[in-house]
Structure 1
Amino acid sequence: MEVILLERIAKLGQMGDVVKVRDGYARNYLLPQEKALRANKGNLARFEAERAQLEARNLERKTEAEGVAAKLDNERFVAIRSAGETGQLYGSVSTRDIADVLTEGGFSVGRDQVRLNRPIKTIGLHAVEILLHPEVEVTVTVNVARSNDEAERQARGEDLTQRDVDVFEFEEEEEEGEGAEGEVAEGEAEAESAGDDAGAEGEENA
């Protein structure tokens, strides 16, 4: 389907461009979100008649977004989640979760404005891009931790994931060492028992 863009769309084009997109993308996103119009003579004429108004509205939205960007860019937010010893989350942090965290922090952000290639599945500091406007993008840091104390330690630069892995490996080695010592002790006990039995038999024969 060919559409007329009513605003800049990343990887598609600028306002006023006529581009070809998948029918589903147009019907489910571009048209209902009023980001584009079907490309036909009537809509082309309508766009040209409303171009000045659309450009003014876009500039106003961009100015508002830039105001928010000045406060939001490089901000840090904490998301507390349950995770295992190695830092792997029991679940994940999605675009909706991040939007909720930012909203709780005083910034009105929708999940469709959060740019995340894949859900976050480990504790740590994660850089996330937020699209405030087609021409205004900022980066925030989401500090995913198991507690506020861990979040503070991660913010200071401590790698809790690596620490947990080291501790886990140390405990495994310690358990293996204890097992080996137990086997040695058991072997010594069996040897002593065998020696005692042999001595007893010798006495009886004597």
Structure 2
Amino acid sequence: MEVVLLERVEKLGQMGDVVKVKNGYARNYLLPQKKALRASKENLSIFETQRAQLEAENLKRREEAEKVGEKLDGEAVVIIRAASDSQQLYGSVSTQDIAKAITAAGFTVNRKQIVLDKVLKTLGLHDIKVRLHPEVTVGVVVNIARSNEEADIQARGESVEEVAEAKLDARDEAVINVFESTAEVDVEELKEVVEGETEDEK
């Protein structure tokens, strides 16, 4: 099916381009989302009469998106999830989850604006894209962790496992120090007791 694009569509064309697409893609996505019209003579003439208005509206939306994009670009959001020791999530993080986290951070986006190259199924920092407008895409970091403490560790660029091991080592060292200091006291007390008993025997 041939359609005329009413806005820029990635990997397809710019506003005003007449392109040939699969019927299902046109019927299920482009036409219902008002991203295109069937490329009939009547629709092409309608488009040409409305082109200036459509371009002006598109420019206004793009400028608004660019303003939001300046603030949103590079933003980091935290999503807390349960995961195994191998850092695999019990489930996955969806576009809906990411959109909610970004909205909670003060930006209004919906799940359709989140661009995921792959399903997020592991803990860690994930770079994702948010399409604010067909011509404006920004990057956001999604920090998936088991707790806010782990999220802070990941945000600093440290390994959660290494920090946990360091804490265990420090705890073990403290236990050993306490044991040694207790053992020293016990040895001294034992010496005093033994020496006292020896003197009594004399």
CA distance in 1, matches of 2:117, 2:46: 36
Offset from partner CA, 1:1-29 (integer Å, 9 cap, x none)? 11000001000000000001111111111
- 2:24 match: 24
Between the two proteins, what is the percent identity of the paired residues? 62
Are residues 1:33 and 2:15 paired? no
Secondary structure of the equivalent of 2:144? strand
Q: Which amino acid aligns with 1:106?
A: G
Q: Which 5+ residue runs of structure 2 have no aligned equivalent?
A: 166-202
- 1:68 match: 68
- 2:144 match: 144
Alpha-carbon offset, residue 90 of structure 1: 0.4
Q: How large is the Cα RMSD of the aligned pairs?
A: 1.5
Offset from partner CA, 1:120-157 (integer Å, 9 cap, x none)? 01000000011101111100100000000000000011
- 1:190 match: none
Within-5 A mapping of 1:49-198: 49-160=49-160, 163=162
CA distance in 2, matches of 1:85, 1:57: 50
- 1:4 match: 4
Q: Would you say the 8 A contact 1:124–1:159 is kept in 2?
A: no
- Dislocated runs of 4+, deviation >4 Å: none
TM-score, length basis structure 1: 0.77
Offset from partner CA, 1:61-116 (integer Å, 9 cap, x none)? 00100010011000000000000111110000111111111111111111111110
- 2:191 match: none
Q: Which 5+ residue runs of structure 1 have no aligned equivalent?
A: 168-206
- 1:42 match: 42
Q: Which amino acid aligns with 1:140?
A: V
Q: Would you say the 8 A contact 1:95–1:119 is kept in 2?
A: no
Q: How many residues align?
A: 165
CA distance in 1, matches of 2:20, 2:100: 34
CA distance in 1, matches of 2:155, 2:128: 16
Secondary structure of the equivalent of 2:28? helix
CA distance in 2, matches of 1:8, 1:77: 28
Which segment drifts farther, 113-122 or 52-61?
113-122
Q: Which amino acid aligns with 2:37?
A: L
Offset from partner CA, 1:141-175 (integer Å, 9 cap, x none)? 00000000000000011123x649x97xxxxxxxx
